[in-house]
């Protein structure tokens, strides 16, 4: 009986992690699509002063930084090969994860720009 309960909890955990991962990918794709589209329209505008203060207008330099950070985030899991062999690897991973969460939520905006 206890074994079945553990299996159900493991299955529920795996399903929820998968669901959250899919939702995060959907959000990332939608956000990047909107930002790249906005930056493309900003690049085609002749009078940039007319865009000042409009909601939804994204600076193309900001979009470039977002794309670089996204590309770097795709390759960060490869660092587990290096950190997995070190005795202090999990501590470094925890510190980087905590720092990333702070930078993501600091002051309600990103601190990359």
8 and 44 share one domain? yes
Return the pLDDT at 22. Answer: 93
69 and 37 share one domain? no
29 and 73 share one domain? no
Q: Is the pLDDT of residue 109 over 70?
A: no
113 and 67 share one domain? yes
94 and 105 share one domain? yes
64 and 51 share one domain? no
Return the pLDDT at 106. Answer: 67
Q: Is the pLDDT of residue 111 over 60?
A: no
2 and 52 share one domain? yes
Return the pLDDT at 75. Answer: 86
Compare 79 and 104 and report the one with higher pLDDT: 79
13 and 44 share one domain? yes
pLDDT band at 16 (very low <50, low <70, confident <90, very high): very high
Domain that holds residue 53: 1-57
The mean pLDDT value of the chain amounts to: 83
Provide the CB-side half-sphere exposure for 56 (13 A, CA): 6
21 and 1 share one domain? yes
Token code pair at residue 10: 């493991």
Residues of the chain above pLDDT 90, percent: 19
| Structural domain count, the chain | 2
């Amino acid at each position: 009986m206890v074994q079945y309960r553990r299996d159900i909890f493991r299955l529920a955990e795996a399903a929820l992690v998968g669901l959250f991962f899919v939702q995060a990918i959907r959000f990332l794709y939608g956000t990047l699509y909107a930002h790249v589209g906005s930056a493309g329209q900003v690049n085609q505008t002749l009078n940039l002063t007319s865009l000042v203060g409009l909601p939804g207008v994204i600076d193309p330099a900001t979009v470039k930084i977002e794309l670089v950070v996204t590309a770097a985030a795709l390759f960060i899991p490869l660092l587990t090969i290096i950190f997995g062999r070190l005795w202090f690897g999990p501590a470094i991973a925890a510190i980087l994860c905590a720092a990333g969460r702070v930078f993501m939520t600091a002051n309600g905006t990103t601190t990359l720009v």
